[in-house]
Amino acid sequence: MVILFLVANIILVVLYSLSINMINNHFNKIDRCIKIYNDKKVYKSDKEVEIVTNLVRDFKQLSYVKNGNIDANIFVRNKIEKARIGIFEYTKVENMALQLKWLMLLVFIINAIYNYLVENNSLVFNVELDKLILGINGIILVTTFTNSIVLNIKYKKDKLILNLEDYLVNQYDYEVAKFEQELKIRNLNKEINLLKNQISNKRMGNGNKENKKNKNNKIMEVKIVEEVATSEDKSEYAHLTDDEIIQLLKQMEWQ
């Protein structure tokens, strides 16, 4: 019979450890999600910030419907308690952890009463079996309650709720305003760059016109030279060779 008390306590402590671990991991996941969501330098996937993104979206929608008349603390608390840890609801996991802790205490009390009422002469390592099992159950019970005090799930939950509430009420509006301001600055920079490009293109167009004008002037000069050359070709001496021209010049000198 006393063995059953030990087996029951072992089963309860395993279930308790699993439930506490699930809750602790859930809180750590939300806390990490908040940090990633707020860190602008870190790449974030939709899955990593899904919790905070959905929370912000639902809060803003409800706030819009109720014209801002909404209690952020109640909203966040309800969201956390209705959240799911795997296939289980958070509330059920938290209640199970609390009930398992008290069930272990109940098993220990029943074990102590049973040992008091029923004598057991079985010995294990020269120690009475009932006292040995009662001692083991006592150690399990003390360890469990100490662990619950150290982890302090309630404190973690309240702290998490406070952080989310502060973000929704204060930081989110500030970040939205800051983002809108940065967006305006980026748009202004784009407009400035566009104007610079337009001015640069206009100057290049004027330069092209000047180059075209100079080119036309050069063409005119070439045409004039060609016309002069052509007119020279049509003179009365145009058919003479160079030697004949020299002889003609000598004759003119002799005269």
**Whether residue 207 has pLDDT greater than 80:** no
Asked which of 147, 171, 191 is the last residue of a domain, the reply is 191
pLDDT (tens digit, 9 = 90+) per residue, 180-204? Answer: 666 678 778 887 888 878 777 777 7
Q: Is residue 163 located within the same domain as residue 209?
A: no
Within a domain: 196:
no
Please provide residue 97's backbone torsions phi and psi, each rounded to the nearest 5 degrees.
Answer: -60, -40
Q: To the nearest 10°, the Cα dihedral for 87, 92, 94, 97? A: -100
Are residues 225 and 139 part of one domain?
no
> Are both 54 and 144 inside the same structural domain?
yes
- How many structural domains does the chain have? 2
In angstroms, the Cα distances linking 244 to 186, 195, 229, 235, 255 are 82, 70, 20, 15, 17
Q: Which domain holds residue 163?
A: 2-191
Most confidently predicted of 146-150, 175-179, 213-217: 146-150
Is 253 a member of any domain?
A: no
What average pLDDT does this structure show over 147-173? Answer: 81
In a domain, 143, yes or no: yes
Same domain, 237 and 135: no
- 183 in the same domain as 82: yes
Q: Residue 78: pLDDT above 50?
A: yes
Among 191, 216, 234, the domain-final residue is 191
Determine the average pLDDT of the residues in 206-226: 58
- What does the pLDDT average to over 35-52? 72
Whether 251 maps to a domain, the answer reads no
Q: What are phi and psi of 183, to 5 degrees?
A: -65, -40
Percent residues over pLDDT 90 in the chain: 5
Q: Which of residues 172, 191, 210 is at a domain's end?
A: 191
Does 232 map to a domain? yes
Residue 157 and residue 233 in one domain: no
More confident residue, 130 or 79: 79
Flag whether pLDDT at 247 surpasses 80: no
The angle formed by the CA atoms of residues 186, 190 and 193, to the nearest 5 degrees, is 135
Same domain, 169 and 229: no
Give domain status of residue 50, yes or no. Answer: yes
Q: pLDDT band at 11, cuts 50/70/90?
A: very high
pLDDT confidence of 234, banded at 50, 70, 90?
very low
Q: 30 and 148: one domain?
A: yes
In the prediction, which pLDDT does 15 show? 92
Lowest mean pLDDT, pick from 60-74, 170-184, 192-206, 238-252: 238-252
pTM for the model stands at 0.59
Encoded tokens for 43: 């790449």
Q: Look at residue 254 and tell me if it is in a domain.
A: no
Q: Does residue 217 sit in the same domain as residue 129?
A: no
User: pLDDT of 101-142, one tens digit each?
Assistant: 899 999 889 888 887 787 665 555 555 677 778 888 889 889
Assess whether 207 and 176 both reside in one domain: no
Task: Please check the confidence at residue 241 and state whether its pLDDT lies above 80.
Answer: no
**Shared domain check, 222 and 129:** no
CB 69 within 8 A of CB 84: no
User: Residue 116: is it exposed, middle or buried by C-beta count within 10 angstroms (0-12/13-18/19+)?
Assistant: exposed
Give the range among 35-39, 45-49, 96-100, 133-137 with minimum mean pLDDT: 45-49
Looking at residue 125, the DSSP 8-state letter turns out to be T
On whether residue 129 sits in a domain, the answer given is yes
119 & 216 share domain: no
